[in-house]
Chain A
């Protein structure tokens, strides 16, 4: 694993998200609780909507374009919709956000 500092936890509003540009495309980093973050692909499996712009609720996000709802833990679309988005390891250390860039690269290679 290669933990890369991508910014401060407080750079992301509570129940909000920010994007990180990577060679594998944009990754959305969600802050679901005071000290709980998830990283996924920013691209909705349906029509490519920017998930980082969705409303974050519980450990889920709703795509702003057509209301697909994803679990941020598994990346699976919820309810009747079928599809999934990639998820990536991200952690908080001393208020900093660390993203596993190896996992991102691996996904890119695959």
Chain B
């Protein structure tokens, strides 16, 4: 375990040094969140009855999403796993007494946490002092808040386990970007619009997919859209999908390593 913590530490320190990137990300995410809320508010004013979430729930959903974007986004993190595959540097990683899957998992988590650490606070502070309809609220009670706190890491593990499957596809394709992998996950995890806004039959299916175990769950628990026992069931679903995706990922890793080829020295 110590070695994974050491890896996490060096990666975390490495991530903290990119201050300019953090500032740029911060501005983008704040502007993005604000525009998203404004456009949703236009829909809400047109017909509040056709709006599937309470407006205040939606506002919290968007702000938490933007503040913790780095924890949940299915793109742009842990990219050097793919690079080691494509460049062949994976030779060195394989010459270490370390499980490659676990290693990438920890590295990706470290990337996510270090980025979120730099970015979340200013967005959270700004979002909680905005004028009212746009202001982020605290969860309704302590239960809801603790459910949120449990759900966050599981959602992060879920999206990371999914990303790792995506990285491993590079063993077969030698390609760096698999846009379809990212877009499907982002869409069905409620990254563009929250799942309650999906049309009925699609929504029912989407609620059960592995993507529902990603940002969808903690964001809706925080905002109060999923409350009480539903939150407990939701976390159960998350645990189920995380287990399935990690098991599948480890299996895929074992198969991939058997047929791995490294060329050119």
Partners in one complex: no
**B interface vs A, CB < 8 Å?**
none
